[in-house]
Structure 1
Amino acid sequence: MIVRPPRKEDDQQIYEVSRLAFGGSREPAPGELWSDQQGWHGLVAELDGRVAGTLKVRDYRQYFGGVAVPMGGVANVAVLPAARGHGVANALIDAILPEMRDRGQCVSALYPSVPPLYRGRGWEQTGNYERVTLRPEYFTMLPRPSQRLPMRRATDDDLPALHDCYRRFARTVDGMLDRATDAFRPEKVLDLDIVDVVPGRDGTVLGFLTGERPDGDQLIVHDLVAADRETVLSLFANLARWAGIITDISLRIDDPAWWQLIAPQPVLHDVRNHPWMLRVVDLPAAVGARGWPVATHLADTAVDIEVADEHAPWQSGSHRLVVEGGKVRCEPGGGGNGTGTVRLHARALGPWFAGSADTAMLRRTGLLEGDPTAARVLDVLTGAPRLPRMADSF
């Protein structure tokens, strides 16, 4: 088996491997071939002179603690049916980990089709991508905004302000992408059926709603972003006006504020979730890149940790997590006897870093051992447990 970077002449074989794994038309759509896309790197596995496996990493940045952290979004992990069971996917993952580290992608997220494969290489379930289906009549039960805010279809001129509106919101929800790397094409949002903005002063955008109106009786809402209560009530009132026209609104749950505190939740409702997994690729770099808002309120302290990570040996071993002067850093060493005060399995690093699991949860699953008092400092730093969210699938 040869694991190597893809070449342009591999395009058709790569597409066929992906199509057999995930489905799709026999002929690629325009822009669907790997060499036509930007903002990614990847690897292929070659067997007997042809592509037998693929793995792509998208260049993203993901918010944690209000700061966008460089993240490698693993996608298109596919293996030809005849080559499965021979370690092709593992070989690709093992080869991409040091490449992500060298590229500065200190964390990595993915949407797993085979969770055991990724758990075996240090990823762990961390956050949610959720949708709920509601009838438009539910939105008529909400309070009306105090004034009807103007709303209009977005244009090219609105794209910078629309993106600024999104990022002001996204940095407050751990797990969201900043949508500012080459992997994104901001202008593509204008291809959607609905891109309604609530304009503010001086060219700003207070909120926006994007969605699609496919055949049938459903409206599919992608982003519903608002700066304040009046704006979200105006956007919800817009959804209420679909009553009598459609039967269902599929709403992506991006913002926990409007979903938990404003949205008209019926007593019984179903939420569909596509969970995603996170891995820390370079612990010192990840700690240095993340925001730690609570650190400014903590006295100076340090926790010695021992990381067990056979697939990322550069971060395996002893570290010291230092809180000093309102900042947090990860230093080599710590634990005078080389064992550390708190021992973390590689799979524990992602949920800890994102704050999706506290150390008591990690301890119960066998992913953490050591001094409970020292471990509690790790919880305080991340505010765990809390639910990270992502509004982009890949």
Structure 2
Amino acid sequence: MRVRDYQADDDADLYELSRIAFGGPREPGPRSYWSAHVGFTGLVAEDDGGLAGCVKVREYGQFFGGESVPMGGLANVAVHPHARGHGVANTLLDAALVHMRDRGQVVSALFPSAPALYRGRGWEQVGVYERVTLRVEALAMLPRPATRPVLRRAAEEDLPAVLDAYYALASTVDGMLDRSSASFRPEQPLEFDLIDLVPGPDGSVQGYLLADRPDGQQVICHDLVARDPLTALGLLANLGRWTGIVDEVSLRIVDPACWQFLVNQPVAHDIRNHPWMLRVVDLPAAVAARGWPMAEHLTPFAIDLDVTDEHAPWNAGRHRIVVEHGKVTCEPGGAGTVRVDARALGPWYAGSADSAMLRRAGLIDAAPADARMLDVLTGAPHPCRMANTF
């Protein structure tokens, strides 16, 4: 078996492989082929029987500590039935790690259909992608803002300001995607049925609502972003005005503050969660790329790690995390006081798990006092969230 880069000539074979693996129509649509999309690279595996497997690596940035970190988003991981059970997926993942490191994608995220496969290669569950379905009357009964925001339909010239409003939120929530990467088409928001905004001063946007109105009894809300509570309540009230027309609103939880503090949540409600996993691809580079808001408030210290990482051997061995003059760096060497499995690096980096959680899971081995400063650096544990799937 050999692994090589994706080429446009692979499109038809890749469509057939994905159709068999994930389901879909026999006849491809206009955007079914990989070449119809932008902002990605890909790897394919071949054996004597032809195309054996594939993986797509999307070019993303992901916010951690307020900074956009280069991230490779793995998608379309598929193995042809004739080749299953022969290590094709593992071979592709190992090749993808080298591929991402070479391209400067210092972390990698994915939505797992087979968690055990990805855990075996160093990815670990870190965050959530959540949707809640509410009766529309629940939104209609929310408190009305004292001053009703004026909404209007967004136009193409508003898109930069809409993106700025998204960044004002996304940069404060670890795990959110940077939508300026090549994987996002700038004009894409205009393709939704609803893109209503609340204008702010000097051409800015105070908040916006992005939604679809498909057939049936639902409005599907993709983004509800607001810079302040009055704007959020105004946007929620606008969704509530669908009362009598539709039965439900499917609300993607983009801003946890809006959902937790402004929506009157029923005593019992169902949230559909699609968890995602994270892996540190290049530890020193990932530490350099991340924001560390706490660092400027800390006196200088160092944490000595001894990393076990069979599948990204450049991460393996002893590293020293150094905090000094408000900066955090990762240097080779140190005493190896905190022994870390590769799977622990993602939850630590994201801040989704503290050292006590990782120790109970068998992912780190250290005295509690030796590992505690890892938690201080990231503010762990705290929720991590993504508002896009891939």
Tell whether the structures are fold-level matches, with TM greater than 0.5.
Answer: yes
What residue number does 1:273 align with? 273
| 2:157 is the alignment partner of 1:157 | yes
- Provide the residue aligned with 2:99 in structure 1: 99
Q: Deviations over 1:156-183 (max 9, x none)?
A: 1111111111111100100000111111
Residue 24 of structure 1 deviates from its aligned partner by: 1.4
Counterpart CA distance in 2 for 1:172 and 1:62 is 11
Query: Structure 1 stretch 24-33 or stretch 356-365: which is displaced more?
Result: 24-33
* 1:377-388 aligned within 5 A: 377-388=373-384
In the other structure, the counterpart of 1:48 is 48
1:113 equivalent to 2:113? Answer yes
| Counterpart in the other structure of 1:15 | 15
17-26 or 359-368: which moved more?
17-26
User: SS of the counterpart of 2:187?
Assistant: helix
Answer with 43-52 or 236-245: which moved more: 43-52
Distance 2:328 2:370 in 1: 15
1:2 is displaced (CA, Å) by: 1.3
TM-score (norm 2): 0.99
In structure 1, the partner of 2:355 is: 359
- Residue 367 of structure 2 is matched in structure 1 by 371
Q: Secondary structure at the match of 1:21?
A: helix
The 10-residue stretch of structure 1 (281-290 or 146-155) with the greater mean CA deviation from structure 2: 146-155
Distance of 2:144 and 2:73 partners within structure 1: 40
Secondary structure at 2:12 match in 1: helix
Name the counterpart of 2:61. 61
- Residue 348 of structure 2 corresponds to residue 347 of structure 1: no
Equivalent AA in structure 1 for residue 352 of structure 2 = S
The RMSD of aligned alpha carbons is: 0.9
Q: Name the CA distance, whole Å, in 1 between partners of 2:115 and 2:241.
A: 41
Instruction: Provide the residue aligned with 2:209 in structure 1.
Output: 209
Residue 70 (str. 1) matches residue 66 (str. 2): no
Query: What secondary structure does 1:145 align onto?
Result: coil
Superposed displacement of residue 36, structure 1: 2.4
Q: Give the Cα separation in 2 of the matches to 1:332 and 1:36.
A: 43
Structure 2 CA distance, aligned partners of 1:149 and 1:333?
57
**Tell me, what secondary structure is at the counterpart of 2:143?**
coil
Local SS of the residue matching 2:10: helix
The residue type paired with residue 272 of structure 2 is R
Partner of 1:200: 200
Q: TM-score, normalised by structure 1?
A: 0.98
SS in 2 for 1:42: strand
Counterpart of 1:176 in structure 2 is: 176
Aligned to 1:164, what secondary structure does the other structure show? helix
Instruction: Deviation per CA, 1:86-111: give whole Å up to 9, x if none.
Output: 11111100111011011110000000
State the alpha-carbon separation in 2 of the partners of residues 24 and 198 from structure 1: 39
Question: 2: distance between equivalents of 1:42 and 1:91?
Answer: 14
Task: Determine if the alignment matches structure 1 residue 223 to structure 2 residue 197.
Answer: no
The separation in 1 between residues aligned to 2:323 and 2:360, in whole angstroms, is 26
Shift of 1:49: 5.6
One-letter amino acid of the counterpart of residue 35, structure 1: S
Letter matched to residue 62 of structure 2: Q
Residue 22 of structure 1 and its aligned partner are, at CA, apart by 1.1
Distance 1:69 1:256 in 2: 21
Preserved CA contact (<8 Å) 1:200 1:206: yes
The letter for the 2-side match of 1:379 is D
Q: Partner letter of residue 2 of structure 1?
A: R
Q: In the alignment, residue 177 of structure 1 is paired with which amino acid? A: L
Q: Which ranges in structure 1 are unaligned for 5 or more consecutive residues?
A: none
Determine the C-alpha separation between the residues in 2 that align with 1:269 and 1:36. Answer: 39
1:41-98 per-position Cα deviation (integer Å, ceiling 9, x unaligned): 1100112262120100000000000000000000000011121111111110011101
Shift of 1:149: 1.1
> Amino acid of the residue matched to residue 360 of structure 2?
R
Cα deviation, 1:265-310, whole Å, max 9, x if unaligned, reads 0111011000000000000000000000011111100010110000
CA distance, structure 1, for counterparts of residue 259 and residue 117 of structure 2 = 33
Which amino acid letter does the alignment assign opposite residue 3 of structure 1?
V
Q: Distance in 2 between matches of 1:252 and 1:176?
A: 13
- Aligned identity (percent) is 64
Q: Which residue pairs with 2:137 in the alignment?
A: 137
State the 4+ residue runs in structure 1 displaced beyond 2 angstroms.
Answer: none
In structure 2, what is the Cα distance between the partners aligned to 1:265 and 1:186? 34
| Cα distance in structure 1, aligned partners of 2:367 and 2:169 | 37
Cα pair 1:13 1:50 within 8 Å, conserved:
no
**Is the partner of 2:386 in helix, strand or coil?**
coil
**Deviation digits for residues 25-44 of structure 1 (CA, Å, limit 9, x no counterpart):** 21222133112221111100
In the TM superposition, what whole-angstrom CA distance separates every residue of 1:170-198 from its partner, at most 9, and x where no partner exists? Answer: 00100000111111102111111111111
Matched, 1:330 2:362: no
Q: Secondary structure at the match of 2:149?
A: coil
How far off its partner does 1:140 sit?
A: 2.4
After superposition, residues 81-96 of structure 1 pair within 5 angstroms as: 81-96=81-96
- SS of aligned partner of 2:32: coil
Q: Secondary structure at the match of 1:54?
A: strand
Distance 1:271 1:38 in 2: 32
| Distance (whole Å) between structure 2 residues aligned to residue 268 and residue 37 of structure 1 | 40
